[in-house]
Amino acid sequence: MRARTRLAIGAIGAVAAAGLLTGCGDEGSSGTDGPQQGASGAGCAPVAGQQLIALQDDKKLQNADNVIPGVNSKAANPQLIAALDKVSTMLDTPKLILLNKAVNDDRKTPKVAAEEFASANNLTAGIAKGPGGQIVVGAGNFSESQTLGELYRIVLTAAGYQVKVQQIGNRELYEPALEKGEIQVVPEYAATMAEFLNTKLNGANPPPVSSPDVDKTVTALRAEGDKVGITFGAPAAAQDQNAFAVTQAFADKYGVRTLSELAAKCSGKATVLGGPPECQQRAFCKPGLEKTYGLSVGSFSSLDQGGPLTKNGLRTGTISAGLIFSSDSAFATS
């Protein structure tokens, strides 16, 4: 399982950082909790299957956690930013899923996966040379961040820099290093970073600055970055946020492809929602499904945070829908 220190449970770390908690039942410790209040319909029983799909968040419950390069402002220049933005231009969520599959399922190193992607997508074409010099790209302590860091290495090398990728750890470690210029570049996630800086600048539990609107979220993020000496490039179409998954067999049986359809067709006693225990309290998880979509489930199964327990619960038919991340390699179809 990938180390995911950046995501407390919301599509973003913003959930914890901004204190967006909604009381909705007690945390479970293990197994499946009893019937949930308000679940009165028949619901949709789990359907086992190997292929997982993410239900479309058609009412935009989750915030815009697009991949975005963060750069120490003293190191930023037009050529460096343009090179990093080339990655953003090329990268959407299906491609990010395949990159994660290459590393997590096919057992390629992040470096190899990134180099194959760069070659297949002609990533370095047209990149202008910058002033050169040493660049350290910091990566978080999970494979997706390391792969993104390798993509940044490739484009910055093409721009004439001497680049190394260094795994730093979690955001609490690498964000101060980025401010100080100990590292110059890091792959980030727009809404998560916006709320991290929001808390850093404004204290505990400030009003959220991120939203499902990527332009508004990035505008807020850049304003925060100006205050701490971090410049942000262009956001990619690729996002890594909360996703509610079902098996393809479940989707076919009940005719659901969106969260609105899940709520309309599957609210009721037979429906089992799976995820980490805190999903029952967090605004972007079970309470969000209830408030935004009107989904009522029969029971909640306390599992893990987008990890093997939740995916196994879906595939073996013990949960109807489960929380995993939108860029997870489990969504790969090739």
Residue 219 has pLDDT above 50, yes or no: yes
d(CA 248, CA 47): 9
Q: Per-residue pLDDT averaged across 100-107, rounded?
A: 96
CA end-to-end span of the chain: 20
Residue 331 has pLDDT above 60, yes or no: yes
DSSP 304: -
Q: Is 91:264 a contact under the CB 8 Å cutoff?
A: no
Instruction: Report whether 246 contacts 263 (CB < 8 A).
Output: no
Does the structural domain 67-232 have CATH classification 3.40.1280.10?
no
| Lowest-pLDDT choice from 34-38, 151-155, 232-236, 259-263 | 34-38
E strands, the chain, in order: 31-32, 52-54, 67-72, 133-140, 161-169, 185-189, 230-232, 242-247, 268-275, 297-302, 321-325
Tokens 């086992």, residue located: 48
**Residue 215, helix vs strand vs coil:** helix
DSSP classification of residue 75: T
pLDDT at 9 over 80: no
Architecture of domain 20-61+241-331: 3-Layer(aba) Sandwich (3.40)
State the pLDDT at residue 32: 53
Q: Mapping DSSP to helix (H, G, I), strand (E, B) and coil, where does residue 208 land?
A: coil
Residues 6+ away with beta carbon under 8 Å from 124: 86, 118, 154, 155, 158
List Cα–Cα distances, 188 to 21, 155, 191, 239, 314, in angstroms.
Answer: 24, 16, 9, 10, 29
What is the reported pTM? 0.86
In the chain, what are the domain boundaries?
20-61+241-331, 67-232
Residue 8 pLDDT level (bands cut at 50, 70, 90)? very low
Strands 242-247 and 297-302: unpaired
What is the average pLDDT score of the chain? Answer: 89
Residue 41, pLDDT score: 85
For residue 17, name the pLDDT band (cuts at 50, 70, 90): very low
Q: Which range is least confidently modeled, 34-38, 241-245, 279-283, 320-324?
A: 34-38
Could you give the CA distance from residue 200 to residue 215 in angstroms, rounded to a whole number? Answer: 22
Q: From the CB of residue 105, how many other CB atoms can be counted at a distance below 10 Å?
A: 12
H or E stretch covering 98: helix 93-104
According to the model, what pLDDT value does residue 15 have?
A: 35
| Each residue's pLDDT tens digit, 316-326 | 999 999 999 99
Q: What is the DSSP letter of 29?
A: -
Specify the DSSP class assigned to residue 67: E
Residue 329, classed as helix, strand or coil, is helix
Query: Tokens representing 57?
Result: 């968040």
Higher pLDDT, 26 or 121: 121
